[in-house]
Amino acid sequence: MEFALFLTTDEVGTLTGFKTPARQVEWLRTKGWRFEINGNRRPIVARKYTEKMLGCGAPEEVVFKPNFSALKDRNGPSPRF
């Protein structure tokens, strides 16, 4: 079963514990959650972000960064071009 991209209105209410959008927004801001306000003035929260914040989503990919210091020539001056 595939879930929607965003939480439903009921799910946002369950998450925050509030039914009114203004109180939901207040809760989300207080907790530091990322969200958007839609045209109906309701908070929209991404499902994957919710899973990440609650610690039940897939682990994030480890990003490897190149070690540029390993490319430096430490045995002498750099070649001149």
Q: How many CA atoms lie within 13 A of 29 on its CB side?
A: 9
Higher pLDDT, 80 or 23: 23
What is the DSSP code (8-state) at residue 34?
A: -
The pLDDT tens digits for 50-79 are: 999 998 866 667 778 887 777 776 666 666
**Residues 14 and 56 sit within 8 Å (Cβ to Cβ):** no
Q: What is the pTM of this model?
A: 0.67
Per-residue pLDDT tens for 25-52? Answer: 999 999 999 999 999 999 999 999 999 9
Strands annotated E in the chain:
36-37, 43-44
